[in-house]
């Protein structure tokens, strides 16, 4: 597992609180030794009890955090395996998107041109013919797989660029009917075969961005939609 090399599983999550207790009482004990003499043993017992109690509490917290880390690592591995599955499958379908670049030559079932819609065409329900797969279920599928996330920006930020840590290539811009501000269309530039797209729009005083990804040729995986809010909102 790669994450083991990135994440130190032997977390000393509560090392700092322990050190605090280690150092502070030592000074106090030293004082007691010189100033109080025989009262030292009694105070040491009390401190030991307090330390043991604190140690138990910290150990429980450490255990809880370790469990949380395990869950995060498991989720990471699951996502990683899904991505690997998709990229391996997609490499076999690249020819479809590269053979016909001009839309005039494209057939109605061209996977790349139809984008979102094709996510339902080549799925396990392929027993359905093209006529049987009506348009309305497709739209419902699309709506169900696009989510949105908000990101606040400065009011002066009128660009449609959203820094989300990923590499995007802008491939189009449109002015939509219900919005005077243009909408930008981005594709993931991480890999040529990457099907992830997003669109960013600015509506009145805020900007939103949608993300969608083909987890497999059969279905979509929501990544979230970013709502880029200006300060004025």
- Give the residues lining the site for DNA (CB under 7 A): 101-104, 106, 108, 112-117, 135, 139, 161, 167-178, 183-185, 189, 197, 199
Nearest approach, Cβ of 175 to DNA (angstroms)?
7
- What are residue 182's DSSP bridge partners? 175
The answer to whether residues 186 and 201 touch, using CB atoms and an 8 Å cutoff, is no
Nearest approach, Cβ of 2 to DNA (angstroms)?
25
Nearest approach, Cβ of 144 to DNA (angstroms)?
15
Q: For DNA, give the closer residue by CB, 86 or 184.
A: 184
Q: For DNA, give the closer residue by CB, 19 or 174.
A: 174
Intra-chain end-to-end CA distance of the chain, in Å: 44
Nearest approach, Cβ of 198 to DNA (angstroms)?
9
Q: For DNA, give the closer residue by CB, 43 or 193.
A: 193
Please give the radius of gyration of the chain, using alpha carbons only, rounded to the nearest integer. 29
Angle at 111 between CA 101 and CA 190, to 5 degrees: 75
Q: For DNA, give the closer residue by CB, 41 or 135.
A: 135
Q: For DNA, give the closer residue by CB, 64 or 169.
A: 169
Nearest approach, Cβ of 158 to DNA (angstroms)?
11
The answer to whether residues 203 and 183 touch, using CB atoms and an 8 Å cutoff, is no
Please list the alpha-helical segments (H only) found in the chain. Answer: 3-6, 15-35, 40-99, 111-114, 118-121, 135-144
User: What's the CA gap between 189 and 199, in Å, rounded?
Assistant: 14
């Amino acid at each position: 597992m790669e994450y083991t090399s990135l994440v130190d599983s032997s977390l000393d999550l509560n090392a700092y609180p322990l050190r605090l207790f280690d150092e502070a009482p030592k000074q106090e004990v030293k004082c007691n030794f010189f100033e109080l003499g025989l009262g030292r043993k009694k105070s040491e017992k009390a401190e030991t009890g307090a330390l043991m109690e604190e140690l138990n509490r910290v150990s429980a917290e450490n255990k809880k955090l370790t469990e949380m880390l395990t869950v995060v690592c498991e989720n990471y591995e699951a996502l990683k395996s899904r991505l690997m599955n998709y990229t391996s499958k997609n490499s076999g379908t690249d020819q479809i998107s590269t053979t016909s670049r001009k839309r005039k030559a494209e057939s109605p079932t061209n996977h790349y041109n139809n984008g979102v819609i094709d996510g339902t065409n080549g799925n396990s329900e392929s027993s359905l013919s093209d006529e049987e797969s009506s348009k309305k279920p497709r739209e419902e599928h699309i709506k169900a797989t696009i989510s949105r996330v908000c990101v606040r920006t400065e009011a002066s930020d009128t660009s449609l660029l959203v820094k989300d840590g990923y590499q995007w290539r802008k491939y189009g811009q449109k002015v939509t009917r219900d919005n005077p501000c243009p909408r930008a269309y981005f594709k993931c530039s991480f890999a040529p075969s990457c099907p992830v797209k997003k669109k960013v729009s600015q509506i009145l005083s805020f900007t939103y961005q949608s993300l969608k990804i083909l987890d497999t040729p059969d279905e979509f995986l929501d990544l979230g939609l970013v709502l880029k809010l200006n300060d004025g909102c």
